[in-house]
Chain A
Amino acid sequence: AQKITQTQPGMFVQEKEAVTLDCTYDTSDQSYGLFWYKQPSSGEMIFLIYQGSYDEQNATEGRYSLNFQKARKSANLVISASQLGDSAMYFCAMRGRRDYKLSFGAGTTVTVRA
């Protein structure tokens, strides 16, 4: 069974600073994919970044980077140079390669302060 844990229910960050959102996971699959999403107050789910379990390099997309530590089963999201528009809920998700189930963590609410 898959389990995704996000232990930070809410975080405050100062504008222009970096913030790290924690995500740990548990799976018996050898091959899997990890995703991060942003959900603003409008409700839409915005795909941010993807990391495959066999990818050797940590994924980066603009101001988003994924700190992937496979042995620790950790996939933390780093947002650099925070902007007011980054205020939202952020979800970590995992998809296994055996059954393709896409499961989500509980989410972390980020509030960026001016």
Chain B
Amino acid sequence: SQTIHQWPATLVQPVGSPLSLECTVEGTSNPNLYWYRQAAGRGLQLLFYSVGIGQISSEVPQNLSASRPQDRQFILSSKKLLLSDSGFYLCAWSVRSEAFFGQGTRLTVV
């Protein structure tokens, strides 16, 4: 069966520090991969999505970037975090009629 791993679950980082969040998928090939950010009590903002290795679509220009170095690996990065980067980050994969999420990372920038 398919599983998605996202870590860490919580993260506290100082302003100006770098960020790297990793998401890996098991049990499926060539999934579509997504990164979302969610503010408390709000909806999901699509940040990036990828339909294949090295193919990244950016939805919102901001202080973040994404990479897909392998078929089932999706990485969200920042060189210098801002206070406004705080939020709940969710990774997801989809294939055909399925779309599942990781457990999410609560990022607090201090």
Contacts and interface: CB of A to CB of B under 8 A. Distances in A.
Interface in B73-110: 88, 90, 92, 94, 97-101, 103-104, 106
Contacts, number: 55
Majority-rule SS of B interface residues: strand
Given A33-B97, A93-B99, A102 B92 contact: yes
Contacts of A35: 99
B99 A103 contact: no
A62 interface: no
A45 B46 contact: no
Majority-rule SS of A interface residues: strand
A68 interface: no
A54 to B, nearest CB: 11
A110 B58 CA distance: 32
B34 A102 contact: yes
Interface residues of B, number: 23
Nearest to B90: A45
Contacts of B90: 45
A35 B95 CA distance: 13
Interface string B40-82: 0011101001010000010100000000000000000000000
Interface in A63-96: 91, 93, 95
Interface of B: 32, 34, 36, 42-44, 46, 49, 51, 57, 59, 88, 90, 92, 94, 97-101, 103-104, 106
Given A99-B57, A100-B51, A50 B43 contact: no
Among B34, B36, B99, the one with the most A-chain Cβ atoms within 10 Å of its Cβ is: B99
A105 B100 CA distance: 16
B68 to A, nearest CB: 13
Contact of A45 (B32, B59, B94, B101): B101
A47 B97 CA distance: 11
26 contacts: A35-B99, A43-B103, A43-B104, A43-B106, A45-B92, A45-B101, A45-B104, A47-B99, A47-B101, A50-B98, A50-B99, A99-B57, A100-B32, A100-B51, A100-B94, A101-B46, A101-B57, A102-B32, A102-B34, A102-B92, A102-B99, A104-B43, A104-B44, A104-B46, A105-B43, A106-B43
